[in-house]
Chains A and B, each alone.
Chain A
């Protein structure tokens, strides 16, 4: 069970869009629709922003969107805002009642 692969960092200017990838294997991301994304501001509780690959929890703006192709899931944040600057993590169900997370991506809003 290896961690999902995310870019260490991404950046964008306010109003722009950025995409964060999350690459797994056919044993996790490639097989299951149970991919979720979390926004984490240091010192605070991680916040669920996408589940089931592309669904929004109540209260999360639709500027955040998710997708999946093969073994790679993606999170796109459009209309970047200063408050989007945070760490982002993906997570996938990996079968046999196990879960695997990504290494995290630091988003910098320039």
Chain B
């Protein structure tokens, strides 16, 4: 059974960089059938797609966040990571990692999410 687990600091100061890692277990991160994505949910709001990465390193980002987001993959450690720069309180959210199926553009497995609070 595929499992994804987010990890990283729960508190980040304004203007600093938010860094999270998603560890993938029970499946291959190098399968050609899947992308790997990040989604977030601010308190009291809906889900927002942040971006995806393919095992080759190819990325796609939400245009509204593109200037501040970098997603990378480490296939040797079966994990992928999110960096969001210049954070503000508006970036406070639960951050989820998920697997995206290439053949029908569906997020089929998700992590439980991790809350990141931006505050001084």
Residues of A within 8 A of B (CB): 1, 3, 6, 32, 34, 36, 38, 43-48, 51-52, 57, 89, 91, 93, 97-104
Contacts of A52 in B (CB 8 A): 104, 106
In the complex, the answer to whether B108 meets A57 with C-beta atoms within 8 Å is: yes
CB closest chain-A residue, reference B112: A45
**Distance A36 CA – B98 CA, assembled complex (angstroms):** 14
Cβ-defined partner of A48 (8 Å) among B46, B96, B106: B106
CB closest chain-A residue, reference B40: A101
Contacts of A102 in B (CB 8 A): 46-47
Contacts of B37 in A (CB 8 A): 99
Interface residues of B, dominant DSSP:
strand
Binary interface encoding of chain B residues 101-119 relative to chain A, with 1 for a CB under 8 A from any of its CBs, else 0? 0001111111111000000
Binary interface encoding of chain B residues 49-66 relative to chain A, with 1 for a CB under 8 A from any of its CBs, else 0? 100100000001011100
CB closest chain-A residue, reference B64: A1
Residues A101 and B96 in contact in the complex (CB < 8 Å), given A1-B63, A52-B106, A91-B107? no
**What 12 additional pairs, Cβ within 8 angstroms, besides A45-B111, A98-B63, A99-B105?**
A1-B63, A3-B46, A6-B46, A32-B105, A36-B106, A43-B112, A89-B47, A98-B60, A99-B49, A99-B107, A103-B46, A104-B46
Contacts of B64 in A (CB 8 A): 1
Cβ-defined partner of B45 (8 Å) among A43, A93, A103: A103
14 contacts between A and B (CB under 8 A): A34-B104, A38-B107, A45-B113, A51-B104, A51-B108, A89-B46, A93-B105, A98-B49, A99-B37, A99-B105, A102-B46, A103-B46, A104-B46, A104-B47
